[in-house]
Amino acid sequence: MITPENLIFHELIGLHARTFDSGPYSGLSGYIVKETRNMITLRCGKVLKSLPKNCINIRFTLPACGCFISGNSLIGRPEDRVVRKSLG
């Protein structure tokens, strides 16, 4: 189960996200459809927006609550970030 404590170690694709305090990227809302080392692609309605992780702050909507995360903590390949927890 995804919780705020372990969110950065999980797959982000499919989660609902909204950007805030992110300059020109503020106020975007939608579902994450793709993630690379430095970018997140968000489906905003019928439009895909590519957002650099190092420039954004994101609010994720989880089943039990919401969670605020700086994009800097998400930088890295998704497959490496998922195993980061087991490495300590």
CATH at 16: 2.30.30.210
Rounded CA gap, 72 and 23, in Å? Answer: 15
Q: Tokens at residue 46, please?
A: 């019928």
How many percent of the chain have pLDDT more than 70?
A: 93
Q: 45 is in which domain, residue-wise?
A: 7-87
Q: State residue 2 phi and psi, 5-degree precision.
A: -85, 125
Q: What is the pLDDT of residue 58?
A: 95
* Residue 2 belongs to some domain of the structure: no
Report yes or no on 1 lying in a domain.
Answer: no
Mean pLDDT (the chain) is 88
pLDDT band at 9 (very low <50, low <70, confident <90, very high): confident
Q: Count structural domains, the chain.
A: 1
- Does a structural domain hold residue 81? yes
Q: What pTM value is reported for the model?
A: 0.85
